[in-house]
Chain A
Amino acid sequence: MMKRILAFFLLVCTLPAAATVKVLATLPEWEALAREIGGERVEATSATSARQDPHRIEARPSLIARARAADLVVATGAELEIGWLPVLLRESGNSRIQPGQPGYLETAALVRLRDVPHAVDRSMGDVHAAGDPHFHLDPRNIAPVAVALAERLARIDPAGAETYRANLARFQARWQAALTRWEAEGAALKGVAFLQAHRSFGYLADWLGMENRGELEPKPGVEPGGAHLSRIVANQQSAPAALILHAAYQDEAAGRWVADRAGIPLVLLPYTVGGTPQAGDLFGLFDDTLARLNRAVRGRP
């Protein structure tokens, strides 16, 4: 009996060593990227879904359990996850994924962020001192993250270094090809003016050359009121926008209200992987984003 119990413990001990690298991504886009680079060698999950506001997540017990088991945490940083990720990391008791360790990758440090405020004050709303953290919507920003992720995976799992290198090379080639295709598809969007629910699509606009006419939120993270929305509708006279963009996790009531009064379409964009049925992976995310934008612009009378 005792031998059996010992054998069981030994079995349990040896199991994780043979298992895959567990990647806990804070957001679906990093989960998708980890799948691209890690392939079969990683088991990637995301702490949030496309239906959840990444600013406002609870440090749920299930997430602590997943952080406890993770070999690598891939986060955005730039204060996007500040309300919950620090608690997850601390409560997990997992030393491998603490900031500064190889098991913690903060992707915002790999790209240059836009809208870095010169001064921060809470009277400006929930501003991010490090800059706008929604940088994944410029697909050119995915490339440096992919390189860093392959490096990290190779450090954590040296036996798989070859695989990660090969997967990275394959991904980079596909991504470059897709970029060329997307930029051709997005040509018609250049100069198109839009409104957005939250400041989520700044990078997308930069990439496609679209023109941001402002947010429905009066200030980041602050709910829009009737007076503010009326002003936005009135502004349509002087500086008209052609579209209103919103993500799956954002409420569409305010956008619908303005869209009806201004007579412009309210366009749901996937925002991240899983945000729409078509956005099944990173390629699908941009394929579908461009398809939806093009449809909305073409459908305009």
Chain B
Amino acid sequence: MQSKILVAALACAFAWPASATADNTQLAAELAALQEQIAQMRTAYEGRIAALEEKLAAADKRRADDATTPAQTASQARSQAPVAHGGASAFNPEISLILQGAYKRAKEVEERHIGGFVGAAHHHDGDEHGDDKRGFLLDHSELVLAANIDPHFRGQTTVALLDGEAELEEAWFQTTSLGHGVGIRAGRFFSGIGYLNEQHAHQWDFYEQPLMYKALFGEHGYSQDGVQLKWVAPLATFLEFGAEIGRGQNFPGTERNLNGANSRALFAHVGGDIGTSSSWRAGLSWLQTRAEERENHFESEVFGEAHGAFSGRSRVWIADFVYKWAPDGNPARRNFKLQAEYFHRKENGHLAVEDEESPWRTRQSGYYLAGVYQFTPNWRAGLRYDRLDSGRQFLGDNPAGIEIEHYQPRRVSAMVDYSWSEFSRLRLQLSRDRAMPGVIDNQVMLQYVMSLGSHGAHKF
């Protein structure tokens, strides 16, 4: 019975759009029919039409004389329409380059980390992004190339460039012709989990991502080498489901040399409008990965500074919510955005430190809440509060004497930014960072974000 319903539902989904297409040749026939009909109407309303016709002829003549708006049919116009670029370059992809940099004033802190949380390993030695460095900073320059591949696919790649390294942040293609609300994306892409995860650094409203994201995935959000399937339900309310499987080599998982998938993700989004001025989106996401000998530094009573290797399962749940307001739904001048995300992570496995092995079971959580108000076309101001909870960390008898930090890392950030246009932005941010026990770090950041090239379209 269950399967019958499924079959019926599937049949339903595929039979849904009953739109038919007709041949181009039919158009000519239709035009002829149209002329015929006008002729019929003419005979029927001879008297009235005659007067109209005179005016029509006069208008037609005027229009023919007017070079700026010649009377033309749709097909003629298409062939006459000016082509902006010619030759081989007409098919060049949309290219944009994002320049980002900052001046940052912060305390000198040894081994900066988030208290009570194991850190995501950095991609490369010495590449510690903005967070651990201070003074004058140059962030990655992001090069984005995107284009439709053919009527069926679209592709995009994002390369982050900095000092002799080119990191491939994204390289994916997605389907555009499947229909029925289905979209498939494959390659390397930012996972659809959470709200902020898919956004690039230049879209962030603050200098750095929330503590929550750093604790969960490290510096760049969670990216998948794999496949994503999304489906938008055919409803008046926005309802979208997504599923991903992938290599799962990034924190909190590790490279595992498998034939199968090491990461699985599911997410659902729902959203809509409230009146003409407000809109919202809420989401629930789940991510599961496995780690094999995921290395981290630990302070051990037995070994001093020690390497620990975690092997086991890591599961993350994220709830996210975004609310946007703009008077009459026109965000050009004034708008407000409120966003919040909450996560809960459970890790279950064991930790090997030198020769000692112990169980490793953690349940940790955290959230952030951010509001950004654009009060004139150029100026925005925002406030963000970050809070994490190191939660439960169980190491059994803890034979290696690992020092467990119990802490609630938190941070308050206030920013104000000025945009000369959609393509340039300068931001001043003040943060009171208490991500580490015993350290209160008052930070000042002055950051620029500049976009060159094609006009990107951003998601909600």
Q: What CA separation (Å) do A60 and B237 show in the bound complex? A: 11
Assess the A58–B70 pair: CB atoms within 8 A: no
In Å, the complex CA distance between A157 and B174 comes to 29
A57 CA / B422 CA spacing, docked (Å):
13
Query: A151 touches which one: B21, B27, B328, B331 (CB < 8 A)?
Result: B27
Stretch at the interface among A176-184, A238-246, A288-296: A176-184
B238, A49: Cβ atoms closer than 8 Å: no
Of the listed stretches B8-16, B108-116, B287-295, chain A binds B8-16
Q: Are B81 and A109 in contact (CB under 8 A)?
A: yes
> Given A65-B236, A109-B81, A116-B82, are A126 and B421 neighbors across the interface (CB < 8 Å)?
yes
Contact between chains at A144 and B73 (CB < 8 Å): yes
- CB-CB under 8 A from A55, the residues of chain B are 332
Q: Is the Cβ of A158 less than 8 Å from the Cβ of B20? A: yes
Nearest chain A CB to B37's CB is how many angstroms away? 6
Give complex CA distance A260, B332 in Å: 25
Q: Choose one: B52, B69, B71, B281; the contact of A173 (CB below 8 Å).
A: B52
Decide if A91 is an interface residue (CB 8 Å cutoff).
Answer: yes
Interface flag for A263 (CB, 8 Å): no
Are B5 and A94 in contact, with the CB atoms below 8 A? Answer: no
Interface residues of A in 41-72 (CB under 8 A from B): 48-49, 51-53, 55-62, 64-65, 68-69, 71
Instruction: Judge whether B272 and A61 touch: CB under 8 Å.
Output: yes
Does any Cβ of B come within 8 Å of A143's Cβ?
yes
- A166 and B459 form a contact (CB under 8 A): no
Interface residues of A in 99-140 (CB under 8 A from B): 99-100, 102-103, 109-114, 116, 122, 125-126, 129-131, 138, 140
> Given the complex of chains A and B, what is the CA–CA distance between A97 and B22 in angstroms?
15
Pairwise interchain contact B21-A49, C-beta atoms closer than 8 A: no
Interface size on B, as a range, is 35 or more
- B61 within 8 Å of A (CB atoms): no
Evaluate contact between B17 and A16: CB separation under 8 angstroms.
yes
With A68-B232, A151-B30 in contact, is A156–B20 under 8 Å at CB? yes
B396 contacts the other chain (CB 8 A) = no
A193 within 8 A of B: no
Q: Does B433 contact A (CB under 8 A)?
A: no
A190 and B81 alpha carbons, distance in the complex (Å): 29
Task: Report whether A180 and B8 are in contact in the complex, using a CB–CB cutoff of 8 Å.
Answer: no
Tell me the complex Cα distance, A92–B231, Å.
9
Q: Which of chain A's residues has its CB closest to B33's CB? A: A165
Q: How many residues of A contact B (CB 8 A)?
A: 88
Question: Quick check: is B440 within 8 A (CB to CB) of the other chain?
Answer: no
Supposing A2-B5, A109-B78 touch, asked if A65 and B330 sit within 8 A by C-beta, the answer is no
Query: By the criterion CB–CB under 8 Å, are B177 and A93 in contact?
Result: no
Convert B69-112 into 0s and 1s, putting 1 for each residue whose CB lies closer than 8 angstroms to a CB of A.
11111100110111010000000000000000000000000000
Chain B contacts for A206, CB-based, 8 A: 68
B residues less than 8 Å from A94 (CB atoms): 179, 181
- State the CA gap A130–B90 with chains docked (Å): 14
B74 touches A155 (CB 8 A): no
**B76: min CB distance to chain A, Å:** 9
Check B4 against A6 for contact (C-beta < 8 Å). Answer: yes
Contact B458 A87 (CB under 8 A): yes
The 6 closest A-B pairs by CB, nearest first: A61-B271, A95-B179, A61-B238, A148-B74, A51-B328, A93-B181
Q: Name A residues whose Cβ lies closer than 8 Å to a Cβ of B.
A: 2, 5-6, 9-10, 12-13, 16-17, 48-49, 51-53, 55-62, 64-65, 68-69, 71, 79, 82-87, 90-96, 98-100, 102-103, 109-114, 116, 122, 125-126, 129-131, 138, 140-141, 143-144, 147-148, 151, 154-158, 161, 165-166, 168-169, 173, 176-177, 179-180, 206, 221-223, 249, 251
Given contacts A17-B18, A93-B180, 19 further A-B contacts (CB under 8 A): A16-B17, A48-B329, A51-B276, A62-B237, A64-B232, A65-B272, A68-B181, A85-B457, A91-B232, A93-B181, A113-B82, A114-B68, A130-B82, A147-B74, A151-B74, A155-B22, A165-B34, A176-B52, A179-B59
- List 13 A-B residue pairs with CB atoms under 8 Å apart, sorted by A's residue number: A9-B12, A56-B331, A57-B331, A65-B232, A65-B235, A82-B455, A91-B459, A112-B77, A144-B74, A151-B74, A155-B21, A180-B59, A222-B421
